[in-house]
Amino acid sequence: MSIISGVSIGLMIILIIRVVALAYYGFPEDLTWSDPEDMATYLKSLPDGAFILLISSHIVGAFLTSLIASLISIKTRFADGIIAGTIIFVFIVVFNFTFDFPVLYLMIDTLLSAVAAFAGASFGQGRNV
């Protein structure tokens, strides 16, 4: 139950920040989501602030996912936090490698998301709730 709760909250956090990012950095009307060339054109036109918002959403989502899962868990706090963090990390990696993101963004986002997921589980295991 703790893993499901953590992953659900983490996904909600990521989606909320992405909605804000997409509202601020709107998708052009003449481009379509389903065309890979249009997506590549859109991603190349985004400023650095859009990528910072995406990275921050992944970091916060991964951290809160593993933190909440480890805080709610009764017996295996660290293991549940790591499992939940791994699940959300897999979602992040699949999203990142589905589209043609810049390499620097991929490296930073992948590294910091993994560290955030581990940090959330580590921080949550030692707290008594």
Q: What is the pTM of this model?
A: 0.88
Instruction: Calculate what percentage of the chain has a pLDDT beyond 70.
Output: 98
Q: 72-76 long-range CB contacts below 8 Å, 24 or more apart? A: 72/1, 72/2, 72/5, 72/6, 72/129, 73/2, 74/2
Confidence of residue 43 (pLDDT cuts 50, 70, 90): confident
Query: Tokens at residue 4, please?
Result: 């499901």
28/68: higher pLDDT:
68
Chain mean pLDDT for the chain: 88
Q: Which H/E stretch holds residue 65? A: helix 48-72
Mean per-residue pLDDT, 64-78: 90
Q: Parse the chain into domains and list their residue ranges.
A: 2-125
Q: Per the structure block, which two tokens stand in for 125? A: 């295991």
Q: How far is Cα 109 from Cα 111, in angstroms, rounded to an integer?
A: 6
